[in-house]
Structure 1
Amino acid sequence: MKTLFVSLLVSVASFAIEPLINTAWLQQHIDDKKLRIVEVSTPQSYGSGHIKGALHTTIDKWRVNKDTFVTIRDPQEIQNEIQRLGIDASTEVVLYADIQTPKDLLKASYIFWALNYHGVGNVALLDGGKQAWVKAGAPLDSSIPKVAASSYTVKTRPALIADRNYVENHIGKLPMLDARPGDKYLGVTPTDTVARDGHIKGAMSYSWNYSVENDYRLKDAEKLETLFANGYNLDKEHEVIVYCTGGLETSFNYFVLSGVLGYKHVRLYDASMKEWGNREETPMVRYRYEVFQK
């Protein structure tokens, strides 16, 4: 029985891809049949050269405008894109961005969350994106790969998303992290797309870019582990809600907490401040940093 248990652990370990992979790992595994590489960028960027075997997607395939905010597309639309990319339950997915601006990286981390939310768990980000690949001397390709569409059926995981009512009902009950810059959190600097300045009542400030180096590689995971455990008093077994301006910035906090550090219950408030801050009745605080105390 012990031998069988160990064999099962080895099998699971060999199946699950690490959530953050580097260029050396990808060069070694680039021809793995179960691997699907996806570039998140503009068509022009993809056409100018991409990692061998990489397919292409844009953030617009995953998000849609709704009222004052942008949110995840309908499950059927997400399923169509997942199938087009040839992804199914057994696929290991590597997402990477052409990081010309910080937002480019956030589009990739949003799709990381979107895949998780729709039941695809074996997903990784390439540390440092296309720029790290090129810097390592790895080649780019111009050929367009052809892959067979999958028959994957999405299975949404409601525990990975929060709506406005859920957030409001858990103020003071759950820790919340605001992924925007500190000046936006405090309400010192206005946001053009948000009518009211400040942050959700009770939320703590942790700008997403605190987790990356200047070249957009992830900072040391052990230091991040200590930061969230000691500085923010977060517990991996307990739920945390993450939000930002409109869903992108907070997706990187989701990636770090849920993917890299193994927090088990991270909910992403997709509509974020573009919904919350454009309503009159939602509880907000301005000019003050807050610490969660249940």
Structure 2
Amino acid sequence: MKTFLFSLLLSVAAFAIEPLVDTTWLQHHIGDKKLRIVEVSTPKSYTSGHIKDALHTTIDKWRVNHGTFITIRSAQEIQKEIRRLGIDASTEVVLYADIQTPKDFLKASYIFWALNYHGITNVAFLDGGKQAWIEEGAALESTIPAIAASSYKVKIQPALIADRTYVEEHIGKLPMLDARPSDKYLGIAPTATVARDGHIKGAMSYSWNYSVESDYTLKESKKLETLFKEGYKLDKESEVIVYCTGGLETSFNYFVLSGVLGYKHVRLYDASMKEWGNRRDTPMVQYTYEVFKK
């Protein structure tokens, strides 16, 4: 029995991909049968040159516009895209972005969350994206790989998402992190797509870009660990809600907390301020940095 359990643990350890991989790791694993590399970019960027064996997706395949706000597409639509990419529960997925703008980077982290939300847990982010790959002198190619579609059935993880009602019911009961720049959080600077300035009552400010260097590589994880534990007093065993303007910025805070640092109960408020701040009946605060206290 002990031998069996030890072997099982080894197989699980070998199966689980780290949430952040670098270019060296990826170069060594291209060609692995269970690996799916996915570029998140425009079609033009992908066809002009991508990492060997990389498939392509765009953020529009994952999100739907409701007018004033945007959210994840239906489970059926997401399942169709996951299957098209040949992904199933046993697949190791590496996402990377062609980072021409910060938003390009955040589209990839949103898909990281979207895959988790639909039951795909073996997902990694390429540190520094396509630019890091090019900087290393690694080759790009234009050949589009042929892969077989999967038959994966999505398994929704409801604990990974929050809607407006859930957020409102938990104000003052759970810590919340606003991933927007501090001037947006404070309501000093307006957001064109949001009618009201400020932040959700009780939320703390942590702009997503605090976690990355100028080249979009992740800052030292030990420093981030200390920051959230000592600075924000977040408990890895307790729930935290993350939000932003419209779902993209906060997805990187989700990636850092849930993926890299191992926080077990991170909920993403997908519609975020584009929903909350365009209503008149939702509690908001301006001009004040808040700290969560139970």
What TM-score range do you get, normalising by the shorter chain? over 0.9
- 2:273 counterpart residue number: 273
3-state SS of paired residue (1:96): strand
- 1:59 counterpart residue number: 59
- 1:260 counterpart residue number: 260
Q: CA deviation at 1:238?
A: 0.2
Find out whether 1:86 has 2:79 as its counterpart.
no
- 1:192 counterpart residue number: 192
- 1:248 counterpart residue number: 248
- 2:201 counterpart residue number: 201
Partners of 1:266 and 1:105 in 2: CA distance: 20
Q: CA deviation at 1:5?
A: 2.2
Q: CA-atom RMSD, angstroms?
A: 0.5
Number of residue pairs aligned between Structure 1 and Structure 2: 294
Structure 2: runs of 5 or more not aligned: none
Partners of 2:258 and 2:2 in 1: CA distance: 30
3-state SS of paired residue (2:214): coil
Q: CA deviation at 1:205?
A: 0.1
Partners of 2:287 and 2:178 in 1: CA distance: 14
Partners of 1:238 and 1:182 in 2: CA distance: 25
Alignment of 1:102-117 (within 5 A): 102-117=102-117
Q: CA deviation at 1:137?
A: 1.1
- 1:10 counterpart residue number: 10
Tell which deviates more after alignment, 233-242 or 63-72. Answer: 63-72
Aligned AA (1:73): R
3-state SS of paired residue (1:281): coil
Aligned AA (2:132): A
Q: CA deviation at 1:3?
A: 2.6
Q: CA deviation at 1:145?
A: 0.4
Q: Give the TM-score of the pair, scaled to structure 1.
A: 0.99
Aligned AA (1:105): F
- 2:28 counterpart residue number: 28
Find out whether 1:45 has 2:45 as its counterpart.
yes
How much identity, in percent, do the aligned residues show? 81
- Describe the superposition over 1:35-73 as per-residue Cα deviations: whole angstroms up to 9, x where unpaired: 000000000000110000000000000000013100000
3-state SS of paired residue (2:213): coil
Aligned AA (1:293): K
Structure 1: runs of 5 or more not aligned: none
Aligned AA (1:14): A
- 1:142 counterpart residue number: 142
- Describe the superposition over 1:1-48 as per-residue Cα deviations: whole angstroms up to 9, x where unpaired: 333222211110100100000000000001100000000000000011
- 1:158 counterpart residue number: 158
- 1:119 counterpart residue number: 119
- Describe the superposition over 1:273-293 as per-residue Cα deviations: whole angstroms up to 9, x where unpaired: 000000001000000000000
3-state SS of paired residue (1:149): coil
Aligned AA (1:202): G
